[in-house]
Amino acid sequence: MVRLRLDLGYDGGAFYGWAKQPTLRTVQGELEQALHTILHVPQDDADEPLRLTVAGRTDTGVHALHQVCHLDVSQATLDRCVGHMGVPAPEALFRRLSRMVPADIAIHAVSVAPDGFDARFSALERTYVYRICDEGRPVDPRMRGFVLAIDDRLDIDAMNAAATMTLGLHDFGSFATPNPGGTTIREVKRAYWSRIPVSPLVPDRPDHARDAGQGTADGYTVPAAESGLLCFTIVADAFARNMVRSLVNACVKVGQGKKDLDWFAGKMAVPLREGSTGPIAPQGLTLEHVAYPPDDRLATRAEAIRAKRTL
């Protein structure tokens, strides 16, 4: 069998998450259907089910700029997609898959995975970003699908004070639900809120350009697309279900003044779910990156992360 690594991105707005479901449109469902067609494998083939394993199972409405999954397939099956292309089989599959998937999925690369690679268990860390347009400012129509609009101006200092409490190894049971047999213990490496600055579209012009009537030294102040957005960036070894969106929701409550930092600290200290720590709306969240160790450490990493975590 050959293990392939697939790198991709998607607009999650029209998907019911990553994981395949019988009657709902999902990213995994679309990809696996396309793979079965391209590789001429029946959907009910028990010998070669073409099942994708993903780095991070995103929820309904959540996006991915950089997602990673792997697929095990026989060499004979993989070779079927070459046809008259005259290119290596992974490249042929990349070209055919790119043309077959819907427009809200983008295939970045298809490659033969190195020995020991597991898209889920070999990953060192995942990076998510949640984007908010606050103060009741209008959302750029081009970005309405991946930005959450909030009427209040959020207190970024208070939100960063809350985010700092998440750093390190914790049980995030107040903000997440475990998989069967799993835990909500995770290690957060970075977590912070930042506001994207407004910068001139055209940089400062030299004196001779101003003298020629080509503009002012200040340039143009047309903002970039993300200017003014409030962004939460979080990096962790892994995330439990609803963890990021629930942490964002809790931080937003602090930023709105509806909850204080003592409340947030209490939720970190006592890992217990209750109504005020549910997930915020999904559209602001994007999986931005998945990082892996060097090839010679992939198998060791996968073995270590499969072990059930404790504090």
CB 81 within 8 A of CB 38: yes
Look at residue 219 in the predicted model and tell me its pLDDT: 59
Q: How far apart are CA 238 and CA 125, in angstroms?
A: 6
Q: How far apart are CA 50 and CA 47, in angstroms?
A: 9
The dihedrals phi and psi of 74, each to the nearest 5 degrees, come to: -70, 155
Catalytic residues, by residue number, are: 59
Alpha helices in 54-150 (DSSP H): 75-79, 89-100
Strands (E), 150-276: 168-171, 185-195, 230-236
Look at residue 163 in the predicted model and tell me its pLDDT: 98
Alpha helices in the chain (DSSP H): 27-38, 75-79, 89-100, 156-164, 207-211, 243-255, 261-269, 298-306
CB 188 within 8 A of CB 236: yes
What residue ranges do the domains of the chain occupy? 2-112, 125-292
CATH number of 125-292: 3.30.70.660
Q: How many CA atoms lie within 13 A of 14 on its CB side?
A: 7
- Tens-digit pLDDT profile for the chain (311 aa)? 999 999 999 999 999 999 999 999 999 999 999 999 999 998 877 777 899 999 999 999 999 999 999 999 999 999 999 988 889 999 999 999 999 999 999 999 999 999 999 999 999 999 999 999 999 888 889 899 999 999 999 999 999 999 999 999 999 999 998 878 788 999 999 999 999 988 766 766 555 555 555 555 555 667 777 888 999 999 999 999 999 999 999 999 999 999 999 999 999 999 988 777 799 999 999 999 999 999 999 999 998 888 767 77
Look at residue 9 in the predicted model and tell me its pLDDT: 98
- Would you state the CATH architecture of domain 2-112? 2-Layer Sandwich (3.30)
Bridge partners of 288?
A: none
Query: What is the pTM (predicted TM-score) of this model?
Result: 0.91
CB 11 within 8 A of CB 22: no
Look at residue 136 in the predicted model and tell me its pLDDT: 87
Same fold, 2-112 and 125-292: yes
Q: How far apart are CA 167 and CA 165, in angstroms?
A: 6
Look at residue 131 in the predicted model and tell me its pLDDT: 97
Look at residue 204 in the predicted model and tell me its pLDDT: 62
Look at residue 208 in the predicted model and tell me its pLDDT: 53
Look at residue 194 in the predicted model and tell me its pLDDT: 97
